[in-house]
Structure 1
Amino acid sequence: MDLDSNIYIAGVRGMVGSAIRRWLEAAGYRNIIGHPSSELDLTNQSATTKFLLRERPEYASLSAAKVGGIHANNTYPAKFIYPNLTAD
């Protein structure tokens, strides 16, 4: 990757995505794209397609996920697995 490459990080505010962003920034990468789920719903295919066509990322890190902790994940597994499987 060039330092000027457009890099998209899904889940940029989460634990994994924010660590990736910090690492890339420390390494000198300048064009890091990331939006919180309140701005871009990755389960909405139309919105995701429009975003990708507009931003044209050359690389992507898909580190977004709906999580709820051990108890919630065990109690309501479908509530978490469905949006994670349908995210573009």
Structure 2
Amino acid sequence: MKKDSKIYIAGHRGLVGSAIVKNLASKGYTNLVYRTHSELDLTNQQAVADFFEAEKPEYVILAAAKVGGIVANNTYRADFIYENLAIQNNVIHQSYLH
């Protein structure tokens, strides 16, 4: 990757995503793109398509996920897997298309 390549980091506020942003920035990457959940709902297929069409990132790093503690993970298993599959499917599909 070039230092000025447009890199979209999905999940930039999480444990993994924030470490990736910090690492890339420390290595001189200057064109990092990210959106908060309120700015871009990654479970919304059309919103993700619109974002990719507008931003056209050259590289995509997918570190986004719905997470919870042990109790939430056990209580809402189906909800978590459903949302996480929607996130990954939307981001990966739009990465492929663009």
Normalised TM-score (structure 2): 0.87
Structure 2 segments unaligned to the other structure (5+ residues) = 91-98
Q: Deviations over 1:15-74 (max 9, x none)?
A: 111100000000000000000111100111111011001111000111000011111101
Q: What's the offset of the Cα at 1:75?
A: 1.6
> Which residues in structure 2 correspond to 1:7-26 (within 5 Å)?
7-26=7-26
Q: Which of structure 1's runs of 4+ aligned residues deviate more than 6 A?
A: none
Structure 1 segments unaligned to the other structure (5+ residues) = none
Q: 1:79 maps to what in 2?
A: 79
Instruction: Give the percent of matched residue pairs that are identical in Structure 1 and Structure 2.
Output: 59
Q: 1:55 maps to what in 2?
A: 55
Distance 2:16 2:38 in 1: 18
User: How many residue pairs were aligned?
Assistant: 88
Q: Secondary structure at the match of 2:16?
A: helix
Decide which structure has greater helix share. Answer: 2
Normalised TM-score (structure 1): 0.96
Instruction: Name the Cα RMSD after superposition.
Output: 0.7
